[in-house]
A and B are shown apart, each in its own frame.
Chain A
Amino acid sequence: MNTCGNILIVNSEEYVQDMLREYFTDLGYHVLVAGGTGAALDILTSVTSPVVLVDLEQPDIDGLATVARLRRSRPDLRVIAMSGTPTLQSTISALRQGVFDYVVKPFRLEDLKDIVKRAVSSVGDDSRTLKLQRRIAELECYIRAHGLQPPPDPCASETDPDDPHESNMSATCAGRRA
């Protein structure tokens, strides 16, 4: 299934998990949830989830230690740290660990959405193919979010041997696939 991207939420509080899962699922993301560092690392072994939201203050988790372990295991991860009691020292520690962004709670979900979008689109190399793949994913996301019907794929339609445009259509499709 095509989605806007995968997001992994690392948070031990169920209501926060539910709120973020619902919000980002509605936006078209595939949302994974881990209640702790170990579960997050397990998920990351099998799922490509380049964007991770980590709450730095959770009852049973040392958020900064979680960020450090995640970044050590997968340096390509875009980690977005969230904190309700930010301190200069914890922010500097997060900076040294190379977090993608640092969000102070309470925050507007709209702002978090923009940060996640930036994080997703910064993933991967900048080859033309990957840029096009990202653009296609963005357009699919837009179509879903606005309840639109995607245009029919001319390459997938059945061919009519009597259609005088058939040869041109095939050439166009071949060109698109190339």
Chain B
Amino acid sequence: MNKHRILVVDDELLIRDLLYDFFTGQGWDITVADGGQKAIDYLKNQEFDVVLTDLKMPDIDGMDLAGRIRSLYDGLPVIIMTGFPSLDSAIQGIRHKVDDYIVKPFNVNQLFKAVKRVVEADVATAGTASE
């Protein structure tokens, strides 16, 4: 079976390192980006099964990135993670068709469950659509 491919976008090195080690340990193919622009560059050249992005970032924030992904790669699942959760950003997430919204600090095993749920739901939907 092919490895799942995840793009993690976060301006905090600590989070990128934590998630890199964790997803690599789970056998996933992980690419990390330190901001929204870098993520867009990766998306132009590589395929991913899911994007996990921080909300507040200095260049392109996570919601803006989600919006661009919806217009360019519509079926690609996006998960927002944030240490500054708010009703407004959650509603914005709904409007950008974000697949999940994770509040930091998170338990990495809970995060992994959420990511797997989104990826597996996307595979199931793709299977139904191709029938």
Contacts and interface: CB of A to CB of B under 8 A. Distances in A.
A96 B114 CA distance: 10
A92 B91 CA distance: 8
Interface stretch (B16-24, B44-52, B95-103): B95-103
B94 A99 contact: yes
Given A95-B98, A95-B100, A88 B93 contact: no
Nearest to B80: A95
A101 B95 contact: yes
Interface in A82-118: 86-88, 91-92, 94-96, 98-102, 104
A98 B100 CA distance: 9
Contacts of B85: 88
Nearest to A118: B95
A164 B97 CA distance: 56
A95 B95 CA distance: 9
Interface residues of B, number: 14
A88 B91 contact: no
B87 A95 contact: no
B90 interface: yes
B107 interface: no
B90 A96 contact: no
A87 B86 CA distance: 9
A49 to B, nearest CB: 21
A82 to B, nearest CB: 12
A91 B87 contact: yes
A102 B90 CA distance: 9
Interface centre among A86, A87, A92, A95 (most CB of B within 10 A): A95
A92 B90 contact: yes
B112 to A, nearest CB: 16
Contact of A102 (B91, B99, B100): B91
Given A88-B85, A95-B100, A101 B90 contact: no
A104 B88 CA distance: 10
Interface of B: 85-87, 90-91, 93-95, 97-101, 103
6 contacts: A91-B90, A91-B94, A95-B94, A95-B98, A96-B100, A102-B90
Given A91-B90, A91-B91, 6 more contacts: A86-B87, A92-B103, A95-B94, A101-B95, A102-B91, A102-B94
